[in-house]
Amino acid sequence: MKPTFQLPNYPIWVGPLAQTFPAWFESAGYTQVFLIADAETRKHCLPVFLQETGLSADVPGTTIPAGEHFKNMHTCAHIWQDMLAAGLDRKALVINLGGGVVGDMGGFCAATYKRGVDFVQIPTTLLSMTDASVGGKLGIDFNGIKNAIGLFGDPVAVFADPIFFNTLSDRELRSGFAEVIKHAIIGDAELWDQLQQLNDLRAVHWPSLLKASIAVKVKVVELDPFEKDLRAVLNFGHTIGHAIESYFLNTDTPLTHGEAIAIGMFCEAELAPASTRLPRTALAKLLRRFFSFRTIPVEAFPALWELMQQDKKNTSGKVRIALPDAEPYRLHWLEPAFVELERSLTVYEDTIKAGL
Ligand SMILES: NC(=O)c1ccc[n+]([C@@H]2O[C@H](COP(=O)([O-])OP(=O)(O)OC[C@H]3O[C@@H](n4cnc5c(N)ncnc54)[C@H](O)[C@@H]3O)[C@@H](O)[C@H]2O)c1
Ligand SMILES: [Zn+2]
């Protein structure tokens, strides 16, 4: 079966694993495989994966604890140890079965083990299907900094099958949906129109929506594989969003990545000049339909500004926000001052208070 997308170095299939993976796997001819899952995906996704692909239940591999908290060097050491113990050679295939954490870290471990073994991404969250497993960015968190250590390394293939959403929580599904919204705004007016019609993520026809959303990421990556310029457009919502995510990280009520990015997109759209023609009102309405916005106290504004100073995109000490421009696949840089952040957050707070 023809891949849904063929990138320069690897194919991406969107659709039932049973129709794609077994034939690909057989023709690839790997003699050794090693499967990486986290505790949750081992429980919920591995049985589905085995059933769909016909792989034997005693496939060697390792299980890591679930969650961003474990995306670190210690977990890598554990993975590499298990790879060595399994006697993995350089001709083996590593299978990453999980969300973005398993994909980023499993890919990183595979790309560095014995100077690199092949790996395949089997994303199991909406976020990892539409975003994390496309584009070859691999890595782990270090010293409290997200994705501080890593490299660009392509998988040999990606298989995105929405069958895994059956066990994914509503909250995680919504979280990934924030990136789908982002992709629509960056490059697909038709997808954007479709999203306006949605009310229930459980009733979505995922194969077509995934294809449209992945297509935007694929196009951006093809235009700018090493993030020299345009690829920064994928950071729409992320400058303010990441600061908000970090701010709430060590509280009793952390936000998911997508929840933080939803707020970030709202605020960044508020700052966008009219020339970008960002659909501000429609975006706010769509975000409000799917995300329950959290109040951000005024006292937090300076702390958020402080966090934004650490953003990777900044140059010469200035905070930079990457916005989609009026034309699809165009980037518009903004260099806001603190007062503008304050203004956008005040509009955000007023919107919550008004119950809009
Ligand atoms: N490489 C990139 O370009 C890129 C892009 C975006 C995000 N990321 C990374 O992705 C990570 C976030 O990914 P994520 O949101 O998938 O988080 P995740 O991998 O932590 O998964 C979220 C939770 O859902 C569970 N889970 C996964 N699939 C499931 C399923 N089908 N059923 C039940 N439970 C399931 C996981 O065990 C985990 O507890 C971050 O570390 C981020 O840095 C990378
Ligand atoms: Zn994101």
Which ligand 1 atom is the nearest neighbour of the CA of 165?
31
Q: From the CA of 258, which ligand is nearest?
A: 2
The phi and psi torsions of 40 (rounded to 5 degrees) equal -75, -45
What one-letter code names the amino acid at 287? Answer: L
Closest CA to 59 of 69, 67, 49: 49
Express each pLDDT in 69-114 by its tens digit: 999 999 999 999 999 999 999 999 999 999 999 999 999 999 999 9
User: Is-above-0.75 flag for pTM?
Assistant: yes
What one-letter code names the amino acid at 53? Answer: T
Full set of structural domains in the chain with CATH: 5-167 (3.40.50.1970), 170-354 (1.20.1090.10)
Express each pLDDT in 204-228 by its tens digit: 999 999 999 999 999 999 999 888 8
Cα–ligand 2 centroid distance for 235 (angstroms): 7
Task: Determine if ligand 1 sits within 6 Å of the CB of residue 322.
Answer: no
To the query of whether residue 257 is one of the catalytic residues in this protein, the response is yes
To the query of whether residue 69 is one of the catalytic residues in this protein, the response is no
Q: Specify whether the backbone of 318 is left (phi greater than 0), alpha (psi in -120 to 50) or beta.
A: beta
Closest CA to 214 of 261, 161, 173: 161
| pLDDT band at residue 316 under the 50/70/90 scheme | confident
Express each pLDDT in 19-75 by its tens digit: 999 999 999 999 999 999 999 999 999 999 999 999 999 999 999 999 999 999 999
Please state, in angstroms and as integers, the Cα–Cα distance from residue 243 to each residue in 236, 303, 304, 319, following that order: 13, 8, 5, 12
Task: Determine if ligand 1 sits within 6 Å of the CB of residue 99.
Answer: yes
The phi and psi torsions of 57 (rounded to 5 degrees) equal -65, -20
Task: Determine if ligand 1 sits within 6 Å of the CB of residue 271.
Answer: no
Cα–ligand 2 centroid distance for 51 (angstroms): 31
To the query of whether residue 242 is one of the catalytic residues in this protein, the response is yes
Cα–ligand 1 centroid distance for 278 (angstroms): 28
Q: Spot the catalytic one: 71, 174, 235, 280.
A: 235
Q: Spot the catalytic one: 71, 174, 238, 320.
A: 238
Closest CA to 132 of 165, 107, 111: 107
Task: Determine if ligand 1 sits within 6 Å of the CB of residue 107.
Answer: no
pLDDT given at position 355: 80
Cα–ligand 1 centroid distance for 98 (angstroms): 7
Q: Specify whether the backbone of 276 is left (phi greater than 0), alpha (psi in -120 to 50) or beta.
A: alpha
> Bridge-partner residues for 334, per DSSP?
321
